[in-house]
Amino acid sequence: MTRSYPVKDFQMPDPRPAPARPFGARTHPGLVREVNEDAVLARPHPGLWAVSDGMGGHAGGDFASRTVVETLDALPAWLGPAELMHAARDAVQEAHARIAAEAAARGGVTIGATVVILVLAGAHFLCLWAGDSRLYRLRAGALELLSLDHSVVGEMVEAGALTWEEAEHHPQANQITRAVGVGEVLEIDKRRGELRPGDRFLLCSDGLTRHLGPEELLRALRDVPPAEAAGRLVEQALAGGGSDNVSVIVVDA
C-alpha cells in the first residue's frame, strides 16, 4: 500500500517546535521467555507513541511487532495533527497487509500483533488500537482504561459477565479476537478526547497487566517523573513473576 500526502495540506515545520512532552519507555523480555516479541515506538515529535505485542512464535511474533512499529516510525515528522491521525491508521493497515503476506509465504502460519497507539496534538489525544494492548489515563488521581480489549474475556467484561479482575485469571484470558496481520479485514478502534493539565497516559502490553492490577498501576504512576514510573512498572511486573514480555510507555500531556 502506498501512502500519499496531499500537497495542499503540507505546511513547513515550525523552526521552533513545541517542547517535547515528557515520557518514559521500557520493554523487557520477562523472566520466562528468551525472545522479546514486544516492540515500542516513542516519537515525541510529532507526538506519536505505540506498543505492539507479537504472536506466532519467536520469529513470527518478533517480525509482526517490529513490522507494526517500523511502519509507524516511517511516517513523516511534518504531518499536521489531522494528517498524522489518518496516516497512523493507514500505517497499521499497511503493516496488516505485510504481516499477512509473510504468513502466507511461510505456509499459512498464524502471525500477528496487537497494537495500541497514542497521538497527542495540541489540546487533544487520539487512541487507535487492535488487540489487548491497552491505554490508560491518569487524571485527577483516578486511573481510567480508555481502550477496550479485543479478546474473549474483554467481550465478556463488556457484556457484564466478568469484572476485569476476574478476566485476568480466566482460562481464556490470552485469547484475542483481533490482531494486525490476522484475517482479511482489520478493524481498528478509535477513541479521542480533550487533554487536561496533569493528564498522564500509560500504554502497555498484557505482560504488565497480567501481574499488576489497577491499584498497583495507580500507585506506580503517581508522584514520579514518567521515566521513573515506566521503570517502576516493569520492575514490579518482573517481581510478580515476569511470565511474559512486558512493555510500558508513560507520557505526560
* pLDDT score recorded for residue 59: 77
- H-helix or E-strand spanning residue 50: strand 48-55
pLDDT band at 167 (very low <50, low <70, confident <90, very high): low
Q: Is residue 38 situated within a structural domain? A: yes
Q: For residue 23, what are the CA distances in angstroms to 103, 122, 144, 203?
A: 34, 16, 19, 11
Range of 95's domain?
A: 22-252
* pLDDT score recorded for residue 48: 97
Q: Is residue 5 situated within a structural domain? A: no
Does 69 score more than 60 pLDDT?
yes
pLDDT digits (tens, 9 = 90+) for 189-226: 999 999 999 999 999 999 999 999 999 999 999 999 99
* pLDDT score recorded for residue 228: 98
Overall number of domains in the chain: 1
The CATH code of the domain that includes 124 is: 3.60.40.10
The structure's pTM equals: 0.89
Q: Is residue 154 situated within a structural domain? A: yes
Nearest-CA neighbor of 6 among 58, 80, 73, 59? 80
Mean pLDDT, residues 60-70 taken together: 97
Burial level of 71, CB count in 10 A (0-12/13-18/19+)?
Answer: buried
